[in-house]
Each structure stands twice: as C-alpha cells, then as structure tokens.
Structure 1
Amino acid sequence: MTVTGLAPGVLEKAKTRRDRRTVIALLAPAILGLVAGFVLPLAYMVRMSFNEGGPDGVVEEGFTLRHYTEPLSDSYFWKVTLDTFQMGLVVGILCVLVSYPVAMFLARSTSKWKGLLTALAIAPLLTSAVVRTYGWMVILGDTGLVNSSLKGLGFITDPLKLTNNMTGVTIGLVEIFMPYAILAMISGFGRLSPQLEEAAGSLGASKFKVFTRVTLPLTLPGVLTAFLMVFVLSVSTFITPRLLGGGAVQVLATEIYDQTTGLLNWPFAAALSVILLLLFGLIIAVYQRLTKKIGA
C-alpha cells in the first residue's frame, strides 16, 4: 500500500481510463460527422444498388444482383470501366512526371521567394475546374491557340483533333491536378537528404546514378502518394470528361450521371458507384503494398 492508501497501479489505471474518455469525447464529433456524412450515405447507396429500377424512375424495394451482373456481361460497360482505369493511370503517370521537377525545386529551394513560388504553383486551385476546362476547350479547339500556332508555323494544314476525345481530356486533367501532385510530393520529400547525395557523388557516382540510386528511392513515397491522389481524383471526375470529351468520352462518372439524370435508373447508378469504389479499393491496396515494400 502507498501513502495514499491505494494499491500500486490504481492511480495509473484511473488516469488511463480518464485519458481514454477524454480522447473519445474529443473524437466523438468527428466520428458522428463521418458516420452521418459518409457511412450512412454509403450504406444507403449499397442498399439502393440491390433494388429494382422501374420505368420513370420508380424504385422497387427488393434484392437483385442484376445491376452487378449486367455490367459484367456487357462489353460496353467493360469498355467504360477499362477506359476509366486507363484514364486515371495515364493522367496519374503524366501528372507525376511533369510535377516532379517542380516539387523537387520547391522542396530544395532556399530562396526567400520560396513561399511565393509555392503559392504560384498551387494558385490554379483558386480557379474552378469548370473555368479551367472551358479554357482548355478554347485552347485545344480547331481554331484554338494550339492549332492556330501550328498552322501559322506551317507544321500542319488541317487542325489536330484535340477535343471531344481522350487526348483532350487527358491534357485538361493533367493541368487541373498538377497542384495536388506538387503538394503531395513536397510533403513526401521529407526523407530526402542532400548529404546522402553528396556522399554518393564523393564516392564517384555519376549524377544519373545518384538520382536513380539515392534521390528517386528516397522520394518514391511522395511520388506514390501523388500518383494515388491524382488517380483517385481522375477516375471520379465528371466535369472535364463531360466537357472536353464532348459526349464521345464515356467513363464511370459520366455513365453514373447519365443513369441518374437521363434514364432515372438509380439502382443501376448506385451499382456503378459501388464498382467505382471497388476500383478505388484495388488501387489503395496496391499502394499500401508498395509503401510497405519500400519501407521494408
């Protein structure tokens, strides 16, 4: 017994329980908000996907797997899903490639203008994606800046088809999501050490070897995080594929929109949304596996 008359460890256990209750009380508002804003709508969407969609938007309560088996047996929906995955993959890779030098420069910069340069790099986020997409429609159009410049220089005689196809959508998405990739990579470059690069160089390694053996492995977690973020944003985006695609580019997001607003088939749209979430889960699982492998 201690001088307080309590057995050893009783005060520590009481303090632990009090701390646990404090943590739960602090987390309760966030947990309730998460449940109300995400878990319940998600559960409702999953339940909706098993209902029957009648004509004129009538939803009949029931349980059917038809809305899942139909996309699996229809080549059109397979193409839409594969195009969505391919779009996210290409946009993610291109966005990382063009954003990596910018992020590396900002992460290493010691200039007094570093804050201003970082602000300029993410300044496009202050403009709506809709406005930027319309801007790309003007730039990439048949009489836009790109085709007019190439015609004026004599490189082409007929305008390049840069809109109403996946090419235009990819260009627009890469520009729109570059700020996200830059921010993700800057925050993920914490393991980068100039001393390690200098040590490798002093041992006779060329700049290329220093980059491939030291710089790239140390920055790879940030690169993977940026790719994951851009991929998720790309496969779920609607505005840019709809506008720059001009109806010729169909991805899961545009198909879900058409099913809800055009055909009023809410259960089928919900099933496509679940398929899109499963696609997210697949990529996140691959990402976690890669990060664990890198960490090991």
Structure 2
Amino acid sequence: MTAEAVAAPAVRPVRPRGPGRHALALLAPGIVALLLTYAMPLVWVLRMSLNESGEGGLIRQTVSFATFAEVLSSAHWWNVIGQTVELGVLVTVCTLVVSYPLALFLARTTSRWRGLLVALAVTPLLISSVARTFGWMAILGNQGLVNKTLGELGIISEPLQLANNLTGVVIASTEIYMPFAILAMISGFGRLDPELEHAAASLGAPRRTVFRRVVLPLTLPGVLTAALMVFVLSLSGYVTPRLIGGGRVFVLATEIYDQATTALDWPVAAVLSVLLLALFGVVIAVYLRAQKVLEARFTGPQGARS
C-alpha cells in the first residue's frame, strides 16, 4: 500500500451506559415498597406535626409550629426526652460491658464448638421480647426469684425495688439487647489478629498492656457499631419500659403511644415522633464522626485527608 492509503477510521470510545429499562424495572418494586412503607408514613407524620390539637381529639388542619413550641416549652416533655436519653446511655453501657467479653471470646476461640456457642448466644432472639420481658417481671418482682432467694439467704430483710422503676428497665433491656451487641461486635472484630497479640507479648508487654494497646483499639469499630445498634433500639423500645416500668418510666416511645391512643392528641404524638427521629439523626451523626476518627487513627494522617 502507498502513503496515500486511506487511514482507518478512528474508534470511538465506548461510554458506559446508565441503568437500562430492565434494571429500572427490577428496582421499581423495591422503590415503590419503600415509598409506601417508609416515605409516605414519614411525610404523613411530618404533616401531622404541623397541625394543632383541639378538645376531644379534634385536629385543626393548619400549617403551624405551635405544637412544636408547646412541646419544647414544656418541662414535662424535656424530662421525658432526658429520661429517654438516660435510659439509652445506661442500657448501652451495661450491654457493652456484659457483651464485650463474650463477643471477644467467640471471635478468638478456635474450638470446634464455636458455631454452637455463637448459636447459643443469639438463641434469645428466637423468643419474643414480650415473653422475655414477662420473664423478667417474674424475676425482678417483690416476690420474684431475686428477692425471694436473697430473703431466704438472710441477705435482705425487705424486698429490693427492682421493678416498676428505671433500674428494672435497664436490667431487662440489657439482657434483651445483648444478642444484637454480640453479633455486631463479632462482625466488627475483623481487624483483630492473634498474631499481633503474640508479637506484643513476645516483646515483653504484659497482658493489660496488650489488651489496652492492641486488642481494644482493634475491636473499637465493632464496639462502636454495637453501641449504635443498642442505643437506637433502646431509644425506640416500648414493651420493656411499659411492662417493667409499670407506668413510672416515661420515655418517648411510651408517650407517643399514650398521646395517640389515650389522649387522642395526634399532633403532639407526631411532634414527639419527629423529635425522636431528630434524636436518631444526632446519634447517627455522632457515630459517623466517631467512625471517621477511628479510621483516621488506623490509616494515619494520609488516609484521614483522603
């Protein structure tokens, strides 16, 4: 061929195609389900919170922040919010303290019974939380197993007040949320390598130092995930505060139910629901910030900047 030969046409770069009709058709049922079961009820709650309540359960259709102002200016509702946060913090701390050794053991064990032990740890999830709460009512009551045993042993002369108060709710909630915390911790202990512990021990570090400088930092992501899960579950818990609390523990979940069904004050119930959602948002924002701090600590300044 000569120099005057016609050059081959340039090949156009292939552009990645966006989601086609088939992909959208496959996503459509899930999107519709999310809109019907999540987005629409949420929009309805937000719209209801802008209404005003009247006498006898009357709802005045309007667009006003008067109900928000009424709730936020009430000392009672601030006490409810404070007790909700207090319950969440206490349950989260107690659950992490009790669940961490179990999760660490299950993550590190090489026993052939490991699968069975993990199954036993999460077996309580197969039982309804209502049934478990009734069980704790029988255990923590004035004539329950704890007081009866301590009385027969001569340790106490009067029953301990372990039910119908915040103490009983914390005890029962801790046991109820332990399986969730254990599962979250086990899944988050991926960075824990036994060889690192052996290396630290071979360099002369005592067990406390190995745990403080090696084990604990590597397991913090799992602990953080478990803390988020337990805190969110305890904030929205209704059954345990209602039954164990005996009507003396006021949290947002129980008050939302009472306002909607007993007082028939739907605008106030909607406002409390919005405040609970806002509280969830604050908790998730704190979790994401803490997660970034941990990631920066593991990856170093370069990873933090990226």
Shorter-chain TM-score range: over 0.9
CA distance in 2 between counterparts of 1:295 and 1:22 reads: 38
State how 1:96-111 maps to structure 2 within 5 Å: 96-111=96-111
Alpha-carbon contact 1:2-1:8 (below 8 Å) kept: no
- Following TM superposition, by how much is the alpha carbon of 1:26 offset from its aligned partner in structure 2, in angstroms? 3.9
- Following TM superposition, by how much is the alpha carbon of 1:8 offset from its aligned partner in structure 2, in angstroms? 2.7
Deviations 1:134-172 (A, max 9, x none): 100000010110001111111110000000000000001
The 1:215/1:60 distance shift into structure 2, 3 A limit, reads same
- Following TM superposition, by how much is the alpha carbon of 1:55 offset from its aligned partner in structure 2, in angstroms? 2.5
The 1:154/1:65 distance shift into structure 2, 3 A limit, reads same
Unaligned runs of 5+ in 1: none
CA distance in 1 between counterparts of 2:60 and 2:153 reads: 61
* 2:248 aligned partner: 248
CA distance in 1 between counterparts of 2:182 and 2:190 reads: 14
* 1:116 aligned partner: 116
CA distance in 1 between counterparts of 2:25 and 2:168 reads: 49
Deviations 1:44-89 (A, max 9, x none): 1001100112223222210121221122211111111000001001
The 1:108/1:27 distance shift into structure 2, 3 A limit, reads farther
Unaligned runs of 5+ in 2: 1-5, 297-306
The 1:78/1:193 distance shift into structure 2, 3 A limit, reads same
State how 1:223-238 maps to structure 2 within 5 Å: 223-238=223-238
CA distance in 1 between counterparts of 2:202 and 2:287 reads: 34
* 2:33 aligned partner: 33
* 3-state SS of paired residue (2:120): helix
CA distance in 2 between counterparts of 1:164 and 1:36 reads: 38
- Following TM superposition, by how much is the alpha carbon of 1:2 offset from its aligned partner in structure 2, in angstroms? 10
* 1:178 aligned partner: 178
* 3-state SS of paired residue (2:143): coil
- Larger Cα-atom Rg: 2
Q: Which amino acid aligns with 1:284?
A: I
- Following TM superposition, by how much is the alpha carbon of 1:30 offset from its aligned partner in structure 2, in angstroms? 2.4
Percentage of matched positions with identical amino acids = 55
CA distance in 2 between counterparts of 1:26 and 1:191 reads: 36
CA distance in 2 between counterparts of 1:194 and 1:79 reads: 46
* 1:43 aligned partner: 43
The 1:17/1:52 distance shift into structure 2, 3 A limit, reads same
Q: Which amino acid aligns with 1:87?
A: L
* 3-state SS of paired residue (1:205): coil
* 2:147 aligned partner: 147
* 1:94 aligned partner: 94
- Following TM superposition, by how much is the alpha carbon of 1:202 offset from its aligned partner in structure 2, in angstroms? 1.1
* 1:284 aligned partner: 284
- Following TM superposition, by how much is the alpha carbon of 1:18 offset from its aligned partner in structure 2, in angstroms? 5.2
Structure 2 residue 11 is the aligned partner of structure 1 residue 7: yes
CA distance in 1 between counterparts of 2:110 and 2:250 reads: 45
- Following TM superposition, by how much is the alpha carbon of 1:19 offset from its aligned partner in structure 2, in angstroms? 5.4
Q: Which amino acid aligns with 1:7?
A: V
Alpha-carbon contact 2:71-2:268 (below 8 Å) kept: no
| Structure in which a larger fraction of residues adopt helix | 1
TM-score calculated relative to the size of structure 1: 0.94
* 1:273 aligned partner: 273
CA distance in 2 between counterparts of 1:38 and 1:262 reads: 25
Q: Which amino acid aligns with 1:294?
A: L
Q: Which amino acid aligns with 1:81?
A: I
- Between the two proteins, the alignment pairs up a number of residues equal to 291
